[in-house]
Amino acid sequence: MPEFYVYWVSTALLSVLYLASAAIYVTKRDWVRQVLAELGFQASYLIPFMIIIKVLGPAAILSRVSVPLSDLAYAGIFFHLLLSGLAHVGVRIPAGALPAAVGLALLVTSFMTQNDARDVPSPYVQATAH
């Protein structure tokens, strides 16, 4: 039973992290563009794409319309957080990687406990747990 609560708390916090990030991308575009430029990315095409992804990823996980789609969202968020953290470390701004590290911890917790809280299990949790 504790895994049920661990799943929902970690998933809710991960979703809040992503939705807050999307809101920042919408409301503070100039600042986001500057930060992405410091990381070496051309932000003009990246910002609208990231806003959509930062909303659709948590929506796919929370709604669980499809288990494969939910697992794909977990994978996409994993790679985004991993690459985001590495981008900050790569330009020698390790403090900028802290949100990505927190997000990764929440993501792993959510993913590993999802079968305890959902009716339809993910086949990948069983594969990684053994």
Q: Give the pLDDT confidence of 68-84 residue by residue, as tens digits.
A: 999 999 999 999 999 99
Categorize the per-residue pLDDT at 128 as very low, low, confident or very high, splitting at 50, 70 and 90: low
7-61 confidence digits (pLDDT tens): 999 999 999 999 999 999 999 999 999 988 888 888 778 899 999 999 999 999 9
What is the predicted pLDDT for the residue at 45?
A: 85
pTM to 2 decimal places = 0.90
pLDDT at 130: 46
Any residues with CB less than 8 A from the CB of 73 and at least 6 apart, and which? 56, 57, 58, 60, 61
- Alpha carbon dihedral 7, 9, 12, 16, in 10-degree steps, equals -140
Amino acid identity for residue 130 in this structure: H
The Cα–Cα gap between 24 and 44 comes to: 15
